[in-house]
Amino acid sequence: MPNFLTYLELAVALAALAALAILALRLRRARHDFQQEVAAWKVRLDLDLKHARQERDHLLDALAESFLLIDAESRIIFANKSAIGMFPGRELLDRRVQEVFLNPKLSKPLLECLRTREPIVTRVVLPHATKSSTEHDASSSVVLVIDASPVSDTPDDAPIIRVVIRDVTSEHHTEQIRKDFVANASHELRTPLTIINGYLSNLIDDDLVDDPEMTRRFLKIMRKHSERIARIVEDMLVISRLESGEASALNMKPFRMRSCIQDVLERLESMIRNQKATITVEMPDEELTLNGDRFYWTQVLFNLVENALKQNPRAGLNIEVGCIEEKGEICLWVADDGVGIPSADLTHIFRRFYRVAKHHSQEEIKGTGLGLSIVKRAVEAHRGSITVSSVPGDDTRFTMRIPQTHGTPDTPETSVSASSPDS
Ligand code: ADP
CA of 116 to the centre of ligand 1 (A): 57
Q: What sign for the dihedral angle of Cα 168, 170, 175, 176?
A: positive
Q: What local confidence, expressed as pLDDT, does residue 181 receive?
A: 83
Provide residues with CB under 6 Å of ligand 1. 303, 307-308, 311, 336, 338-341, 349, 354-356, 367-373, 396
Tell me the pairing of strands 278-282 and 289-292.
unpaired
Every domain of the chain and the residues it spans: 66-167, 174-243, 253-403
Atom of ligand 1 nearest to the CA of 235: 2
171 contact partners, CB below 8 Å, separation of at least 6: none
Residue/partner pairs of 91-95 with CB below 8 Å, 24 or more apart = 92/68
Beta-bridge partner residues of 331: 324, 401
Q: What local confidence, expressed as pLDDT, does residue 317 receive?
A: 95
Q: What local confidence, expressed as pLDDT, does residue 4 receive?
A: 73
Mean pLDDT by 10 residues, the chain (423 residues): 77 92 93 94 93 88 92 92 91 92 92 92 81 45 93 65 93 84 86 91 80 89 91 87 70 93 95 94 91 93 96 93 93 96 93 75 66 93 95 95 74 41 31
Can you tell me the distance from the alpha carbon of 108 to that of 360, in angstroms, rounded to the nearest whole number?
A: 53
CATH number of 253-403: 3.30.565.10
Can you tell me the distance from the alpha carbon of 71 to that of 83, in angstroms, rounded to the nearest whole number?
A: 17
Q: What local confidence, expressed as pLDDT, does residue 133 receive?
A: 43
CATH 1.10.287.130 correct for 174-243: yes
CB 232 within 8 A of CB 267: no
Atom of ligand 1 nearest to the CA of 354: 10
Q: What 3-state DSSP class applies to 324?
A: strand
Task: Give which of 419, 404, 397, 401 is closest to 304, Cα–Cα.
Answer: 397
CATH number of 66-167: 3.30.450.20
| DSSP, residue by residue, 23-63 | HHHHHHHHHHHHHHHHHHHHHHHHHHHHHHHHHHHHHHHT-
Residue owning the nearest CA to atom 22 of ligand 1: 308
Tell me the pairing of strands 318-326 and 278-282.
parallel
Is pTM beyond 0.85 here?
Answer: no
Atom of ligand 1 nearest to the CA of 367: 2
Q: What local confidence, expressed as pLDDT, does residue 209 receive?
A: 75
CB 311 within 8 A of CB 365: yes
Q: What local confidence, expressed as pLDDT, does residue 149 receive?
A: 94
